[in-house]
Amino acid sequence: MKTTRRRFLGLVAGSIAVPPCLPAASPSKRLPIAFSTLGCPRWDWTTILKRAAEYGYAAIELRGIQGTMDLTKRPEFSGACLESRLRELESAGLRLAGLGASARLHDAEPAVRTTQLDEARRFIDLAHRLQAPFVRVFGDRIVAGQPRQATVDRVAAGLRALGEHAKGSGVTVLIESHGDFCDSATLLEILTASPMETVGLLWDSHHTVVAAKEPPERTLEHLGRYVRHVHLKDSKPEGNGVRYVLTGSGTVPVRDIVRLLVERKYPGYFSFEWEKAWHPEIEEPEEAFPHFARVLGQYL
């Protein structure tokens, strides 16, 4: 995975010129679907907006642009450019579903932890300026050689610190079900230790189903009240792992997950996280994104 990510960053790092504004658009009412820009690592800002509107999406989840994962360093979102970005979103009939930071909360080494928390705080500040409702962070890993509880407590403490920073900003900090933090029991322990309105859960349903081997009904039973955003993707077993496949053609019960969320009156976006940036062998976004929109249209 690390080699793939380094190769990806080397391949797609390119022009950082700020694109021109999109022309005004009058889109019809759209379904509450979004896609993560992790799935379109070569698209610039203008292409992201154009394709999202063309494919019928209502929102965009920003997880890097053209190889830059730290969105706070992108020229599109610096200084006076922010107002232009907001106007372009409005013209395209789109919203920002949220921002995906890379910050990890498991690190015990003080300098590393400070760097991770600082990144998350910068993302919270940017989300506030962009009127984005959430910033995603990771618990990530249980630290080897330490008691498990020490890592869990450190992650919860990090969430509380970020939740404090987010107060009054309109931004919620979401821990994603990811890595060693996929099972309901561990996530519930962290979330109940962080009882703040500015803290919640990003439910990556693929990870809880495939990695934690939890039925979605069980995950929602325990964690449903914390869910603020949802990632959807499909896969098939392959070798010792899985291969991501077009939505509805794999073994992940995506239709059931959508049904359960609708029954619970989930108010957020159904966001497609197509991990093209980390897995360049999977289908191109020009195929995968409109396919997801069509399938979710049927499910919803």
Q: What is the rounded distance in angstroms from the CA atom of residue 224 to the CA atom of residue 197? A: 15
> What is the residue type of 32?
P
Question: pLDDT confidence of 289, banded at 50, 70, 90?
Answer: very high
User: What sections of 99-147 are H helices per DSSP?
Assistant: 110-130
Domains and CATH numbers, the chain: 2-9+32-299 (3.20.20.150)
Structure token digits, residue 145: 């050689």
Give which of 95, 35, 106 is closest to 286, Cα–Cα.
35
In the predicted structure, residue 11 carries a pLDDT above the cut 50: no
Angle at 73 between CA 198 and CA 168, to 5 degrees: 20
On average, the pLDDT of the chain sits at: 92
Q: pTM for the full model?
A: 0.90
Question: pLDDT confidence of 28, banded at 50, 70, 90?
Answer: low
Q: Where are the beta strands (DSSP E) in 117-217?
A: 134-138, 172-176, 199-204
Give which of 217, 233, 223, 227 is closest to 186, Cα–Cα.
223
Buried b (16+ CB within 10 A) or exposed e, 86-110: eebbebbbbbbbbbbbbbbbbbeee
Give which of 124, 102, 97 is closest to 33, Cα–Cα.
97
pLDDT tens-digit map of 134-162: 999 999 999 999 999 999 999 999 999 99
pLDDT tens-digit map of 162-194: 999 999 999 999 999 999 999 999 999 999 999
Whole-Å CA distances, 108 to 22, 137, 153, 157: 45, 16, 11, 12
